[in-house]
Homo-oligomer: A and B are copies of this chain.
Amino acid sequence: MGRFQPFHLGHFDIIKQALSECDEIIIAITSSQFNYLEKDPFTAGERIEMIHNSLKESDIDLSKCIIVGIENQFNIATWASYLKSALPKFDKVYSGNEYVSMLLNDSDIQVVYPKFLDREKYNATRIRKMIIDNENWQELVPKAVVQLITSINGINRIKVISQSDTRPTEH
């Protein structure tokens, strides 16, 4: 579960962990309804494509992976229930986020705390910052992600958003 803005090698590492421990995994893209925003520059479609292509270019068995977009809910108390309606049946959630654990507390879903691969380094906020500053972000993400971001002119998109004071969803 993650926003995947963008999908990076830290995310990929957790996917590999989950795959080694489960029969099948669901990769849930949160905030899927948002895009062209500072914290959410990429569309749901672009994020699905990033993840699908990254799994495909590696030796991952895609028949064990389901990628699904999920939207933020305003009535957060119903989030666990929304999750169950939006995803194929699942038993565990891999998450290092205590807030997520709390929301799943009253459900029958188990929360697994994954091992993180250098969380400071593999961090989407930092990667977006590096893109703005023309630093070497490419080595922090799968090759397929570099290709996708390039093909959609994503570097420019992130820069334009960061320089603009237009915040269409804020009031």
Would you call A111 an interface residue if the criterion is a C-beta within 8 Å of the partner chain's C-beta atoms? no
Q: Which of A40, A78, A89 has the most CB of B within 10 A?
A: A78
Chain B residues with CB below 8 A from A137, complex form: none
Would you call A130 an interface residue if the criterion is a C-beta within 8 Å of the partner chain's C-beta atoms? no
Chain B residues with CB below 8 A from A36, complex form: 76-77, 79, 102-103
CB closest residue in chain B, given A36? B76
Judge whether B87 and A48 touch: CB under 8 Å.
yes
Judge whether A45 and B75 touch: CB under 8 Å.
no
Q: Which of A56, A80, A102, A171 has the most CB of B within 10 A?
A: A171
What copy number does this chain have within its complex?
A: 6
Would you call A63 an interface residue if the criterion is a C-beta within 8 Å of the partner chain's C-beta atoms? yes
Judge whether A168 and B72 touch: CB under 8 Å.
yes
Q: Which of A72, A76, A85 has the most CB of B within 10 A?
A: A85
Chain B residues with CB below 8 A from A48, complex form: 66, 68, 87-88
CB closest residue in chain B, given A53? B88
19 of the cross-chain contacts (CB-CB < 8 Å) are A31-B171, A35-B75, A36-B76, A39-B171, A40-B171, A43-B77, A45-B68, A45-B85, A49-B88, A62-B63, A63-B63, A69-B86, A73-B168, A76-B169, A77-B84, A98-B164, A99-B161, A99-B166, A102-B156
A36 to chain B, nearest CB (A): 4
Q: How long is the Cα–Cα vector from A52 to B66 in the complex, in angstroms? A: 8
Chain B residues with CB below 8 A from A45, complex form: 68, 84-89
